Structure 1
C-alpha cells in the first residue's frame, strides 16, 4: 500500500526550498495562447501541461460530443474527471454507471475503463492525469484547431487510417493499452 507523505507513520521530511524557476500558471480555455486539439471527435484544451508542473500532472478541458468517448483502454497513470456539464456513462472494469454534472470520477492506474457521452448534447469535463503525459499524447495524435469552439476536422478514410496507425505506434510510449474496435 502506498502511503501519503502526510501519514502519521511516515517520518517527517523537510519541505524542499522554493524553486523560483517554476512560475504561477493561470489557465483560461479561451486565451489566445491556449492549445486546442481535436481528438476522436471531441475538442480538448490543454489548460495546464506537464511542462508547467514539472511532470507532476496535466489538466485538460474536454468537450465531448453526444455519443462520443474513447474505446475501452487502460494506462499506467491516475486519471480524474470532474464533469461540469452533461451526463456520461463510465464503464470501469466492465461495470457501467451514469455520472452527472457535478460529479468527480477517479480512475486508478492500470484499471480498464471507458466513457461515453449520453447527454444528448456536448458534455464538458476537466481531466487531470498524474503524472503528466496524456497532454503530450493528445497533442501528438490530435489535430490542432483554432479555438475550443472550432468544428472538429472531418478526416477522410485514409486520414483516419493514418491516425489509427499513429495512435497504435504511440500507445506503448504513453504506457497505454487500447481495446481493438
Structure 2
C-alpha cells in the first residue's frame, strides 16, 4: 500500500471482533497523512524509527517503544531516519483491516515493493474507500517548522 507492506496477522475473525494486528514495513520517508478512524490504535516499533503525531502532540518512537492513538483522534505517522520501519499495529475494535485489504495490492513476499510515485488517482481511490470504512483523511501531517 503506497510503498509499504502490511501483513494482517490477526483479523476480526481471529479475535471475535475485539482487535486486529498488522505487521508493517515502511521505507524511509513514508507518511500516511493526518486522518481519523473509530478504532483506537497502538504502534509498537520493532525496527527503525517513526514520528507519531496525535492531535497536536508529536512523539518519536524507537525500537521497543509504543505509541497510542485514542479512538477518533486526528493522527498520522512518518518514518524517520534512513532505516526501514517495522512496526506492529493493533487496532481495537477490529474491522479496519478490511480497508487495508480493499486499497492494498496483494504482496508475494514480505519485502518492500519497488518505489513508485503516488498519483492523485491513488489518493482519490484511498480517500473514497476510506470513507466507506470509517476513515477521514484530513491532509498532510503538520511540519516541525
Bin for the TM-score computed over the shorter chain: 0.7 to 0.9
Q: Which has the higher contact order (CA 8 A, sep 6+)?
A: 2
* Structure 1, unaligned runs of 5 or more: 1-38
Q: Which residue number in structure 2 is paired with residue 166 of structure 1? A: 125
Q: Which residue number in structure 2 is paired with residue 56 of structure 1? A: 18
Q: Provide the secondary structure at the position in 2 that maps to 1:171.
A: helix
Q: Deviations over 1:11-56 (max 9, x none)?
A: xxxxxxxxxxxxxxxxxxxxxxxxxxxx121111111111222222
Q: How many residues align?
A: 140
Confirm or deny: 8 A CA contact 2:39 2:96 kept in the other structure. no
**Larger Rg, first or second structure (1 or 2):** 1
- How much does 1:98 deviate? 1.1
- How much does 1:152 deviate? 4.2
Q: Which residue number in structure 2 is paired with residue 11 of structure 1? A: none
Q: Of residues 59, 67, 72 in structure 2, which corresponds to 1:110?
A: 72
- How much does 1:166 deviate? 2.2
Confirm or deny: 8 A CA contact 2:52 2:59 kept in the other structure. yes
Equivalent runs, 1:68-147 vs 2, <5 Å:
68-147=30-109
* Structure 2, unaligned runs of 5 or more: 141-145
Q: TM-score, structure 2 length as denominator?
A: 0.87
Q: Provide the secondary structure at the position in 1 that maps to 2:86.
A: strand
